[in-house]
A and B are shown apart, each in its own frame.
Chain A
């Protein structure tokens, strides 16, 4: 199956700082990438959808100025959590889809963010 990597896998930062998470599709072209967050024992929550070269589409209630998403190439999308607060601590997962060939989404391994 298709491989999606995410970096870093785990990050601890201080309140008020910004954190960038990278998501890469390693063996396919990701026309669309998705960013999710997940709290312990809760379901996936879609934050935003990004198409390569376009602005991301954010889900209702997700602040676009706080969660900056860039999808500049067919293999890379980044999520920057700006001015992080402890309530931003969560498991952030990206997924990618090759829209040229299928509807299947492949997930990265996730990034566990802890804001102190």
Chain B
């Protein structure tokens, strides 16, 4: 089992819709959770971090964490074509090592 799993996609949504990105992790002791956005040919950019169960909202982005289910998600409201990118889920384990999922490719169609 991979440490951090994401559906590779591609996930395609129409402009203005909600994009829902999901991630599961295997280490039950994980403490910190992150979402990064990576445009093609560029390096990852941190867009959200979440540390406790529940929802965390930042603009059009909402991260959701459920430690009991070992599940973290990212919702993007009012999706824009500029949101088209690969979204990486990252999880920090007790030993502080950060593990990345393989990423979900999102396409927002105008």
Measuring CB to CB, which residues of chain A are less than 8 angstroms from any residue of chain B? 1, 32, 34, 43-44, 46, 49, 91, 93, 95, 99, 102-110
Contacts and interface: CB of A to CB of B under 8 A. Distances in A.
A43 B102 contact: yes
Interface of B: 31-32, 34, 36, 41-46, 49, 88, 90, 92, 96-98, 100-103
Contacts of B103: 43
Given A105-B90, A105-B98, A108-B43, 18 more contacts: A1-B46, A34-B98, A43-B100, A43-B102, A44-B100, A91-B41, A102-B49, A103-B31, A103-B49, A103-B98, A104-B32, A104-B34, A104-B49, A105-B34, A105-B46, A107-B43, A107-B46, A110-B43
Nearest to A45: B100
A103 B32 contact: yes
Nearest to A103: B32
A102 to B, nearest CB: 8
A102 B98 CA distance: 12
B43 A103 contact: no
Nearest to B33: A103
B96 A103 contact: yes
Contacts of B43: 93, 107-110
Contacts of A110: 42-43
A21 to B, nearest CB: 13
